[in-house]
């Protein structure tokens, strides 16, 4: 009586995830409303200014803002995550940041009527977003599988291989082609890359054993599906040179950014294990007789001298604990109560002498 409790009230641990889920839902609704507002700005720009340079400039500026919003959502998920999940969302944000680089160059060239990058180089730069995604697929499921230094070394090796492959097979050959051949090469490369990433994520899902890892890979797969569908339709429009449809399809290019922002913002970190479960798991590592104090007293009784020196009420207390443990534990009860055939012979002789 009067001593503070060491264990927290269990009702608080149940209520906290509900409030966290409600706050996450409010943030996701707010982000979704911002995405809808930016897409509406794109549509109003085309309706009021047309599909010329002015309307296209408004649309591209809106796309840049949508990408910034998606990066902010990924950054929020990164701060909520820990360990491997934090590295996952960090690489996800890097992938969106890579998409922002050619998007910014294209917006700058359209607004100020300049040609900073060639169209072939501008298209190939969008394909670099797959490099961080490949690194995400090589992440371990738990922190105990590999050391952090080994994880970063693997990611560094993947980055080197991807950069060398991209430069030697895609970037340098495209610059030496005519515009028609470069367009066909860029379209085929982007479509193959999207399908390859989808297949790699599906294969990684087959071997994923952790539930948290599967949830992250499913969100990544949803983002890649949106990228693959939009890229395929956009490449088909550009291949057939539909100028008006290509301008209006800027609304479709907003879909991957919306998907990226929502899958990052709606993700919640796994809840921690309650203390009671953690205490039970810690006790599971000890032998069975050490979990039950009564059984421990039966199997490892104290010395006779210690019982004689102690007060009489302490011996009574030990005896009551041993009897209680015997009735509550079947194994302990069997230890105290001997079998019928195993009774000592002295008791029988004693009975005979008394008779």
Nearest Cα neighbor of 96 from 126, 53, 59 is: 126
Q: Which helix (H) or strand (E) holds 280?
A: helix 275-283
Nearest to 112 by CA among 159, 53, 47: 53
Q: Is the pTM of this model over 0.75?
A: no
Residue 344 tokens, joined: 């000592």
Domain ranges in the chain are 26-265, 285-336
Sorted by sequence, the CB contacts under 8 Å of residue 134 that are 6+ apart come out as 158, 162, 197, 200
If DSSP codes are grouped into helix, strand and coil, which group holds residue 240?
Answer: coil
Note whether 108 and 114 are within 8 A (CB): yes
Please tell me the distance from the alpha carbon of residue 57 to that of residue 335, in angstroms, as a whole number.
86
Rounded Cα distance between 197 and 200, Å, is 5
Per-residue model confidence as pLDDT tens for the chain (355 residues): 455 545 554 444 444 444 455 555 567 788 889 999 999 999 999 999 988 889 999 999 999 999 999 999 999 999 988 888 889 999 999 999 999 999 999 999 999 988 888 888 888 889 889 888 988 888 887 766 555 666 677 777 777 777 777 776 667 777 777 777 878 888 888 899 899 999 999 999 988 888 888 999 999 999 999 999 999 999 999 888 888 888 899 999 999 999 999 999 888 877 653 433 444 444 444 444 444 454 444 445 555 444 444 444 444 444 444 444 444 444 444 444 444 444 444 444 444 434 3
Three-state DSSP class for residue 206: helix
CA of 351: how far to CAs of 336, 348, 354, 355, in Å? 21, 5, 5, 6
Tell me which residue has tokens 């090469």.
185
Closest C-alpha to 174, from 123, 243, 237, 232 = 123
Q: Residues with Cβ < 8 Å from 113, sequence gap 6 or more?
A: 53
The number of residues in the chain equals 355
Question: Is the distance from CB of 294 to CB of 322 less than 8 angstroms?
Answer: yes
Question: DSSP characters for 47-109?
Answer: HHH-SSHHHHHHHHHHHHHHHHHHHHHHHHHHHH--HHHHHHHHHHHHHHHHHHHHHHHHHHH
Domain 26-265 has CATH 3.40.50: no
Q: How far does Cα 284 stand from its chain's mean position?
A: 29
């Amino acid at each position: 009586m009067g001593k503070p409790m060491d264990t927290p009230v269990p009702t608080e641990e149940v209520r906290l995830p509900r409030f966290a889920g409600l706050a996450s839902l409010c943030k996701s609704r707010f982000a979704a409303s911002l995405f809808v507002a930016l897409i509406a700005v794109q549509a109003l720009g085309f309706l009021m200014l047309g599909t010329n340079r002015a309307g296209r400039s408004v649309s591209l500026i809106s796309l840049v803002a949508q990408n910034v919003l998606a990066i902010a959502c990924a950054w929020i998920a990164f701060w909520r995550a820990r360990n491997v999940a934090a590295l996952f969302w960090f690489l996800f944000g890097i992938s969106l940041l890579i998409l922002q680089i050619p998007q910014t160059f294209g917006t700058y060239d359209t607004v100020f009527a300049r040609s900073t990058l060639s169209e072939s180089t501008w298209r190939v730069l969008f394909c670099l977003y797959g490099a961080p995604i490949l690194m995400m697929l090589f992440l371990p499921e738990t922190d105990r599988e590999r050391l952090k230094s080994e994880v970063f070394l693997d990611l560094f090796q993947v980055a080197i291989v991807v950069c060398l492959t991209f430069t030697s097979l895609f970037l340098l050959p495209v610059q030496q082609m005519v515009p028609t051949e470069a367009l066909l090469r860029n379209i085929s490369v982007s479509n193959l890359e999207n399908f390859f990433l989808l297949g790699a994520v599906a294969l990684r899902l087959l071997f994923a054993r952790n539930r948290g890892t599967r949830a992250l890979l499913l969100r990544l797969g949803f983002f890649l599906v949106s990228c693959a569908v939009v890229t395929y339709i956009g490449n088909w429009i550009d291949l057939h040179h539909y100028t008006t449809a290509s301008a209006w399809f800027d609304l479709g290019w907003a879909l991957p950014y919306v998907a990226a922002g929502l899958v990052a913002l709606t993700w919640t970190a796994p809840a921690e294990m309650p203390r009671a479960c953690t205490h039970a798991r810690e006790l599971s590592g000890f032998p069975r007789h050490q979990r039950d104090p009564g059984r421990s007293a039966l199997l490892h009784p104290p010395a006779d001298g210690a019982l004689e020196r102690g007060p009489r009420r302490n011996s009574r207390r030990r005896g009551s604990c041993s009897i209680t443990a015997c009735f509550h534990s079947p194994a302990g009860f069997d230890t105290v109560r001997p079998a019928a055939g195993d009774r000592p012979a002295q008791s029988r002789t004693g009975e005979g002498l008394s008779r």
